[in-house]
Structure 1
Amino acid sequence: MNGAADGIRAVLIAGPTASGKSALAVAIARRFGGTVVNADSMQVYADLRTLTARPMAEEEAVVPHQLYGHVDGAVNHSAMRYAADIATVLAELAQSGSLPVIVGGTGLYFKALTEGFSAIPPVPEAVRTAFRERVGDQETGSLHAELCALDPVMGERLRPSDRMRIMRALEVKIATGRSLASFQGERRPGPLDGMPLLKLFVSPEREEVRRRIDARFETMMAQGALAEVAALRDRRLDPLLPVMRAHGVPGLIAHLDGAMGLDEAIARGQADTRAYAKRQMTWFRHQMPDWQAVAPEAALEGALRALAPAG
């Protein structure tokens, strides 16, 4: 496959936000004639190129990129849809002989790729819309009581304050007549399940990640993130959609609405992103123990050595 080590079907690069993993992916793809494939749940959206740190057009011109910015913000994207999309991309890359270099910070996407995912059917948009219109601003505790009545198993599993997961469980129950728990026990294989892979976890020093996050948020603001969020706000989308909860979006919308100063909105976006990076590091270390942890400065050399053809 374009000079990569025999047998390696794909390179997977995970890590916290602002860890330098995207630059690593581009370098590997350039060296081996590969294609960079997104595994970040926010970078799939077309609406937030700057604020989600999607590759810029000039970066995408260096090597092919796939699954970036291909989903409209009005869509509630899921790991199941991601798995279906990337299965198509991987089949195309296998035909062309291009090495997939899959990079991102969404651990569930990597889990879906390598271990499969629960066979939960998609909730029809009409059902979702009708449910959310009915729910409106109903208190989360009341929603949890409704879930306990309709689906006692999930009602027991979920915290009474976990509004998003409670709503998800209710939607599945209403749409299918089955408990979400019954689907979670049924798994479909992932598109890379059982294949030989190079799996890298970019693991920088925590203080360096914090510094990079704060600096990058300032850079994104200088590059037009506020105008990007203003355009998203003008669409008047459901505030519970993932794109509306991207790091920085709630605070910047509050600023645009006159409810928060710009400095406070920026500080909130930085703090939310730092907290997310901390959760990512913890999740990856516990959920992906078989991945090779690499420091950012040594990652490229280690990857090239692992991918070098024998002999």
Structure 2
Amino acid sequence: MKEIIIILGPTASGKTALSIEIARKFDGEVINMDSMQVYKDLPILSAAPTKSEMGDIPHHLFGHVDAAHPYSTGEYILEAKRAIDGVLSRGKKAILVGGTGLYAHSLTQGMVETPPVPPEIRAKTRKLVEADRKGQYNRLKKHDPYYASKIEANDIVRIARALEVFEATGKSLSDWHAEEQPPILKNGSWQGIGLMPEREPVYEKITARFKAMVSNGGLQEVEALWKRGLAEDLPAMKALGIPNLIEYFEGRAPLDEAISSAITQTRQYAKRQLTWLRNRAADWKKYPDAQSILRDLK
């Protein structure tokens, strides 16, 4: 068993309980690897572990960022490195757990460093692309022909992203990608575990859990964020369930409809997480449930 264990799986698959059990069994500490559980403003909707669930196991990088801050992958990598080094220096195992594949990939394979884009440039660029997708794609071919050749001409999201980076920096996205940062975890230093339960049971858990979240404070959590008037393009404001429930507070959808659409989107996200695990973590050992993992770890 390696000193660094990375547990990746879809939402509602039981990762939190598994990580705590592994940490307790093998004298470890848990480090968050979920992009929404870093925010202190949404412990319920992000399904962050509670104090009672954490028990006596030290946890790191949970609930330490304000929702108004556009927390980035680069910031996470720096904080994760400090947390991992601290855990290992205490002679403990570092148990990283979460559902954010980008974090796992960046830790183990390296990351592409791209700059933050001012909100006004982002908004202007996306409006231009939505209004004239073909024209803006041709513009992208002029500024960044290599990246343009790698994407579909109707891919609004990627066209806008490439153009906004160019507008903000004067440098193409391809040039930024060429400056990929090396991984902070060396080959052989970590062990990847994929928790991959059957899809339908996960979907059932998602439905039951989201309804429980709404009933047990999740609705008030979203209302507090909504009243702050935070920008809708902030990462925290895109957390599963938040845009849907904000529609309810703004009178654009009844509560049952908002809940239903949030559940549907969460199920779709879980499906994408499973696909990511199959395709991007192909060499990781996969397990159908937590019990299989615990039996296999030594």
Match of 1:294 among 283, 287, 295: 287
Partner in structure 2 of residue 306 of structure 1: 297
Partner in structure 2 of residue 269 of structure 1: 262
Query: Can you give the 5+ residue segments of structure 1 that lack an aligned partner in the other structure?
Result: none
Cα offset, 1:122, TM superposition: 2.9
Match of 1:25 among 1, 16, 19: 19
Cα offset, 1:141, TM superposition: 4.4
Query: Can you give the 5+ residue segments of structure 2 that lack an aligned partner in the other structure?
Result: none
- 1:83–1:295 Cα change, 3 Å: same
Cα offset, 1:86, TM superposition: 0.6
Cα offset, 1:142, TM superposition: 3.5
Cα offset, 1:110, TM superposition: 0.7
Q: Secondary structure at the match of 2:63?
A: coil
* TM-score, normalised via structure 1 length: 0.87
How many pairs are equivalent?
295
| C-alpha RMSD of matched pairs (Å) | 2.2
Partner in structure 2 of residue 257 of structure 1: 250
* TM-score, normalised via structure 2 length: 0.90
Determine the C-alpha separation between the residues in 2 that align with 1:48 and 1:166.
31
Amino acid at match of 1:66: H
Determine the C-alpha separation between the residues in 1 that align with 2:31 and 2:156.
31
Partner in structure 2 of residue 142 of structure 1: 132
1:124-143 matches, within 5 Å, as 128-132=118-122, 134-135=124-125, 137-138=127-128, 140-142=130-132
Determine the C-alpha separation between the residues in 1 that align with 2:152 and 2:78.
30
Amino acid at match of 2:108: T
- 1:257–1:42 Cα change, 3 Å: same
Partner in structure 1 of residue 90 of structure 2: 96
Determine the C-alpha separation between the residues in 2 that align with 1:168 and 1:9.
38
Q: Does 2:219 correspond to 1:226?
A: yes
Partner in structure 2 of residue 86 of structure 1: 80
Determine the C-alpha separation between the residues in 2 that align with 1:68 and 1:161.
38
- 1:98–1:161 Cα change, 3 Å: farther
Determine the C-alpha separation between the residues in 1 that align with 2:55 and 2:118.
38
Q: Does 2:31 correspond to 1:41?
A: no
Determine the C-alpha separation between the residues in 1 that align with 2:157 and 2:92.
38
- 1:164–1:262 Cα change, 3 Å: same
